[in-house]
Amino acid sequence: MKLVKPTSEYKASYIEALKEGFYVGVQSDKTPSEIERINQNFEQYLEEMDNSTGKIICEDGKEYDIVPQSTYWLIDNNIFIGSISLRKKLNQFLVNFGGNIGYGVRPSMQKKGYASKMLGLLLQDLKSSKLKEVLLTCSPKNIGSNKVIQNNGGEFLGAKDLEWREEPTNHYKIKLK
């Protein structure tokens, strides 16, 4: 099992994962026509994955600079299993909602321990970085994600109410040093 930078080597299983309904964080799954576009333009899709720049309007209605991120894929038995994205710097939106790390595991591979292992592998790599701790957030209803964070030493900081969300957002810190 390993984390790799996204590469067309795993295109076939990545496209299969999208067809199963794979998504990361609070994104939603892709429509058949979106998947077909990704399939047709895979290299460009990979290039653009972490290279958005400029500003975005977030769900709180405010404008933020896009924060750089690095995405890694979890590969097991030569198959794409899931994806995890790291944002070393946070804007105020991500401090409230999103945090440093977002992830997802393809539906057919869920509840097999993969997300917990994927987060563990990334945290291991981060031990040699300058980051002292990471912030992770998730919905109180997302039992799987809460457990993934707890399985990796997540310290619960509280459930934060955000004006633009009906439900609170659970905040966790994981110490790296």
Ligand X SMILES: CC(C)(COP(=O)(O)OP(=O)(O)OC[C@H]1O[C@@H](n2cnc3c(N)ncnc32)[C@H](O)[C@@H]1OP(=O)(O)O)[C@@H](O)C(=O)NCCC(=O)NCCS
Contact footprint for ligand X (CB under 6 A)? 23, 25, 103-105, 110-116, 138, 142-145, 147-148, 151
- Closer by beta carbon to ligand X, 44 or else 120: 120
- Closer by beta carbon to ligand X, 19 or else 147: 147
Helix boundaries (H) for the chain? 11-20, 32-40, 42-49, 92-96, 114-126, 143-151
Work out how close the CB of 24 gets to ligand X at its nearest, in angstroms, rounded to a whole number.
Answer: 6
Work out how close the CB of 140 gets to ligand X at its nearest, in angstroms, rounded to a whole number.
Answer: 11
Work out how close the CB of 40 gets to ligand X at its nearest, in angstroms, rounded to a whole number.
Answer: 25
Work out how close the CB of 114 gets to ligand X at its nearest, in angstroms, rounded to a whole number.
Answer: 4
Residue nearest to ligand X (CB): 144
Q: What are 35's two structure tokens?
A: 């998947």
Nearest to 98 by CA among 52, 17, 165, 34: 165
- Closer by beta carbon to ligand X, 22 or else 46: 22
- Closer by beta carbon to ligand X, 135 or else 148: 148
Q: How far is residue 101 from each of residues 33, 55, 86, 134, measured CA to CA in Å?
A: 28, 20, 5, 8
Work out how close the CB of 159 gets to ligand X at its nearest, in angstroms, rounded to a whole number.
Answer: 14
Q: Are 96 and 139 in contact (CB under 8 A)?
A: no
- Closer by beta carbon to ligand X, 115 or else 126: 115
Q: How far is residue 14 from each of residues 22, 23, 39, 79, 126, measured CA to CA in Å?
A: 9, 11, 9, 8, 25
Instruction: Return d(Cα 137, Cα 146) in angstroms, integer.
Output: 9
